[in-house]
Chain A
Amino acid sequence: MSTVERDVTAPPELVERLAEAEEELQRLREQLAEWERSYAETPERDALFSTVSGQEIEPLYSPLDRSESASYEEALGVPGSYPFTRGPYATMYRTRLWTMRQFAGFATAEETNERYKYLLAHGQTGLSVAFDFPTLMGYDSDHERSLGEVGVCGVAISSASDMVRLFDGIPLDQVSVSMTINGPAIILFCFYVAAAERQGVSPDQLRGTVQNDILKEYQAQHAWVFPPEPALRLIVDMFEWCADNTPKYNPISISGYHIREAGATAGQELAFTLRNGFEYVERGIERGLDVDRFAPRLSFFFDVHNDFFEEIAKFRAARRIWAKGMKERYGAKNPDSWRLRTHAQTAGVTLTAQQPVNNVVRVAYQAMAAVLGGTQSLHTNSLDETLALPTEEAARIALRTQQLLAFESGVANTIDPLAGSFYVESLTDALEAEAEDIFRRIDEVGGVVPGIDTGWFQREIGASALRQQEEIDSGRRVVVGLNHFTEGSEKIEIETLRIDPGVEERQCARMARLREERDGDAVERTLGVLTEACRASENVLAPTLECARADCTLYEIRAAMETVFGSYKEPVMF
């Protein structure tokens, strides 16, 4: 039955227009049927026609592939308005380009401070701190478990005094700073606030982000300290304190990056990340916080992998799913609570040690996908990152890649340029549907924390990683320079950064001095108050900040909390 027959009372002009539309659709169907016949007659080349996530891709998309239920307004709307598919802000890059924010940190605070000044001098617009493994795990540089790892994979920061040196000469009221720290995030955040105070900068002037996303640590990245329940409590403490004290600062960056890098598909990255985000929202609401008081400062962080269109669609789907969930399920009324703002980083896992210069090109494509997806800030990886931390030269090329995109390619001239593409819209719809399906599966395993406790997330991610490895090992998934086109891959021909082995010794000597010079009574007193606050279920931020001001060390503060909270033990599996 046609539309026309159904609606006999419509005015004649409308009947005519509907009939025309019907005819046009019929012609399209016929054309496509004919095209399909000729397509079927011609052999396809021998290749995988699926995304890196394993989604089969059709040879052609047309208006017939769009879901019929959603109107343009419901599915896309305009940038800066619900459901934000086309972008979180109305004017996007026409007003302000994305923040070029290169993740950097190595050796001691002084060396990293120099690198920051170098990056800022070359046009970088925000800072992003990479901490070393001991810091990420809450150990001081002079703790026995830190041996061999101090300053190697990032910068060693064990006290507020180290943080002061890290930002020496960098005004914290002007430069926005992102910190990748999770298990002991509240401690490093307090070091940061204390360091700003010593510069004369008050908390309400701070701009930036602390990652503070513990759920994905259990699922994928594995730099944890406390078990899930107390860890979630600390995060809600941060939401509460930051809502009152740091209105321009993001107290969390809900991150898919590490989930993807650990092996997840685009759909898993999208669904796990957003579900984690909703979990934090639920925890805030359970505490009694008004959702519109903390949700506007929640921020996100996604990976940008190789499959160009799938990645663009992922960013668009993420914004739509978040907006719908926040408005419909959690009853947020402030549009800022619906608006998903995100950082993006090109996929480290796609870089090859073989023919490393090719990585510059991989990163450029990925960066373009992030920009077409509408990211708010971006880190582009350096070509040498499968081998070591980046050299200054490699870091500069990575930054230049973003500047080429911003100023030469023209992709920032118009907002959401791929909207309306039959393919991109279809992928966006498909990813949204896949995420909804994964949300249901998470509910079936009992929710996020039970899914972590039973290792469900870890197994899902591990299975995807294994499937991708098998595709690469068999050569079906082509990796240029690795399993195909391998001439010239035999040896690595680039200079890499070496961390001076004297760093550990210098940092330990500094720790010894700090322990001697600070006021020992203040240290003991503030740590005691903190332990009591942990026990009494009070918001622990203020007492942690007191510890930071007294130059208590990272591990001392961790230990003061651990007495009450205990530590996390992972379910071991592969």
Chain B
Amino acid sequence: MTEEGRKIRVLVAKPGLDGHDRGAKVIAASFRDAGFEVIYTGLHQTPEMIVSAAVQEDVDVVALSVLSGAHMTLFPRVLDLLEEEGVDHVLLTGGGIIPEDDITALQELGIGRLFGPGTPTSEAVSYIREWFATQAERV
């Protein structure tokens, strides 16, 4: 599905009512500087809006930024909707204020790595690059 040499397409999204977009914007700019194609949704998106954007834009990665404490509702909802849409090649990852126990629980559902406060942006970039490379090998 993923041809080698093409740019990685990432949707950076802010689900829910949380207005804290400093992290989302900084990570979107860092992804762009790293050579990814970045689509940023803007604030106050419902899971439905995010999944529909992911399908329309045919992205490889959906990165959610959640600082509102609603991660246990929002991540699984986006995951379920992606499945409903038959999207099985997309990495769902993200970051924000998410306690360790919740990260473990979300990863057990099949969500990728979740980055907490203080993570260097380069760490998220490498993670996505590595994930993309393993996907390409599988094809």
The answer to whether the Cβ of B118 comes within 8 Å of any Cβ in the partner chain is yes
* Contact digits for A130-163, partner B, Cβ 8 Å, 1 yes 0 no: 0001101101000001111100110000000000
Q: How far is the CB of A47 from chain B (nearest CB, A)?
A: 20
Inside 8 A of A465's CB, which chain B residues have their CB? 22, 25-26
- Report whether A462 and B17 are in contact in the complex, using a CB–CB cutoff of 8 Å: no
- Report whether B118 and A353 are in contact in the complex, using a CB–CB cutoff of 8 Å: yes
Tell me the complex Cα distance, A515–B97, Å: 35
- Report whether B40 and A574 are in contact in the complex, using a CB–CB cutoff of 8 Å: yes
Inside 8 A of B100's CB, which chain A residues have their CB? 491-492
Q: How far is the CB of B15 from chain A (nearest CB, A)?
A: 9
Tell me the complex Cα distance, A146–B12, Å: 21
Choose among A133, A479, A482 the residue that contacts B17 (Cβ–Cβ < 8 A).
A133
Choose among B25, B38, B118, B121 the residue that contacts A482 (Cβ–Cβ < 8 A).
B118
The answer to whether the Cβ of A570 comes within 8 Å of any Cβ in the partner chain is yes
Which segment of B1-9, B65-73, B104-112, B126-134 sits at the interface?
B65-73
Q: Give 8 nearest A-B pairs by CB, closest first.
A: A148-B73, A222-B19, A572-B42, A133-B17, A152-B69, A148-B70, A574-B28, A574-B25
Q: How far is the CB of A284 from chain B (nearest CB, A)?
A: 27
Q: How far is the CB of A569 from chain B (nearest CB, A)?
A: 9
The answer to whether the Cβ of A387 comes within 8 Å of any Cβ in the partner chain is yes
Choose among A139, A499, A573 the residue that contacts B69 (Cβ–Cβ < 8 A).
A499
Inside 8 A of B120's CB, which chain A residues have their CB? 472-473, 483
Tell me the complex Cα distance, A570–B22, Å: 15
The answer to whether the Cβ of A311 comes within 8 Å of any Cβ in the partner chain is no
- Report whether A386 and B25 are in contact in the complex, using a CB–CB cutoff of 8 Å: no
The answer to whether the Cβ of A223 comes within 8 Å of any Cβ in the partner chain is yes
The answer to whether the Cβ of B81 comes within 8 Å of any Cβ in the partner chain is no
- Report whether A133 and B68 are in contact in the complex, using a CB–CB cutoff of 8 Å: yes
Tell me the complex Cα distance, A146–B18, Å: 11
The answer to whether the Cβ of A531 comes within 8 Å of any Cβ in the partner chain is no
Tell me the complex Cα distance, A573–B100, Å: 31
For chain A, residues 331 to 361, give those with C-beta under 8 angstroms from any C-beta of chain B: 349, 352-354
Q: How far is the CB of A49 from chain B (nearest CB, A)?
A: 24
Residues A387 and B121 in contact in the complex (CB < 8 Å), given A133-B68, A221-B19: no
- Report whether B118 and A149 are in contact in the complex, using a CB–CB cutoff of 8 Å: no
Inside 8 A of A472's CB, which chain B residues have their CB? 120
- B-side residues, CB < 8 A to A, are 12, 16-22, 24-26, 28-30, 32, 38, 40-44, 46, 68-70, 72-74, 97, 99-100, 116-118, 120-122
- Report whether A466 and B118 are in contact in the complex, using a CB–CB cutoff of 8 Å: no
For chain B, what secondary structure do more than half of its interface residues adopt (helix, strand, loop), or is it mixed? loop
Tell me the complex Cα distance, A354–B120, Å: 13
Residues A136 and B17 in contact in the complex (CB < 8 Å), given A148-B70, A354-B118: yes
- A-side residues, CB < 8 A to B, are 133-134, 136-137, 139, 145-149, 152-153, 217, 221-223, 261-263, 349, 352-354, 386-389, 462, 465-466, 469, 472-473, 479, 482-483, 491-492, 496, 498-499, 570, 572-574
Residues A145 and B46 in contact in the complex (CB < 8 Å), given A353-B117, A354-B118: yes
Q: How far is the CB of B94 from chain A (nearest CB, A)?
A: 15
Q: How far is the CB of B35 from chain A (nearest CB, A)?
A: 16
Choose among A147, A222, A352, A473 the residue that contacts B43 (Cβ–Cβ < 8 A).
A222
**Chain B residue nearest in CB terms to A461:** B22
- Report whether B74 and A386 are in contact in the complex, using a CB–CB cutoff of 8 Å: no
Tell me the complex Cα distance, A262–B20, Å: 8
Choose among B22, B73, B118 the residue that contacts A262 (Cβ–Cβ < 8 A).
B22
Q: How far is the CB of A147 from chain B (nearest CB, A)?
A: 6
Choose among A147, A221, A261, A483 the residue that contacts B73 (Cβ–Cβ < 8 A).
A147
Inside 8 A of B38's CB, which chain A residues have their CB? 574
- Report whether B70 and A261 are in contact in the complex, using a CB–CB cutoff of 8 Å: no
Q: How far is the CB of A131 from chain B (nearest CB, A)?
A: 11
Inside 8 A of B121's CB, which chain A residues have their CB? 469, 473
> Considering residues B19, B25, B43, B70, which has the most beta carbons from chain A within 10 angstroms of its beta carbon?
B19
Residues A353 and B43 in contact in the complex (CB < 8 Å), given A262-B22, A473-B121: no
Inside 8 A of A217's CB, which chain B residues have their CB? 19
- Report whether A149 and B16 are in contact in the complex, using a CB–CB cutoff of 8 Å: yes
Inside 8 A of A134's CB, which chain B residues have their CB? 17
- Report whether B70 and A149 are in contact in the complex, using a CB–CB cutoff of 8 Å: yes
Inside 8 A of A148's CB, which chain B residues have their CB? 16, 70, 72-74
Tell me the complex Cα distance, A222–B44, Å: 9
Inside 8 A of B117's CB, which chain A residues have their CB? 352-353, 386
- Report whether B116 and A353 are in contact in the complex, using a CB–CB cutoff of 8 Å: yes
Q: How far is the CB of A37 from chain B (nearest CB, A)?
A: 41
Residues A152 and B42 in contact in the complex (CB < 8 Å), given A388-B99, A465-B22, A574-B29: no
Tell me the complex Cα distance, A261–B52, Å: 31
**Chain B residue nearest in CB terms to A459:** B25
Q: How far is the CB of A400 from chain B (nearest CB, A)?
A: 24
Q: How far is the CB of B108 from chain A (nearest CB, A)?
A: 18
Choose among B26, B69, B73, B118 the residue that contacts A388 (Cβ–Cβ < 8 A).
B69
Inside 8 A of A222's CB, which chain B residues have their CB? 19-21, 43-44
Task: Jot down 19 A-B pairs with beta carbons below 8 A, ordered by A.
Answer: A133-B18, A133-B68, A134-B17, A137-B17, A139-B17, A145-B17, A147-B73, A149-B68, A222-B21, A262-B22, A465-B25, A466-B25, A466-B26, A472-B120, A482-B118, A496-B99, A570-B42, A572-B41, A573-B40
Inside 8 A of B97's CB, which chain A residues have their CB? 386-388
Q: How far is the CB of A44 from chain B (nearest CB, A)?
A: 27
- Report whether B70 and A466 are in contact in the complex, using a CB–CB cutoff of 8 Å: no
Tell me the complex Cα distance, A262–B25, Å: 10
Q: How far is the CB of B91 from chain A (nearest CB, A)?
A: 20
- Report whether A133 and B26 are in contact in the complex, using a CB–CB cutoff of 8 Å: no
Tell me the complex Cα distance, A139–B44, Å: 12
**Chain A residue nearest in CB terms to B120:** A473
- Report whether B16 and A133 are in contact in the complex, using a CB–CB cutoff of 8 Å: yes
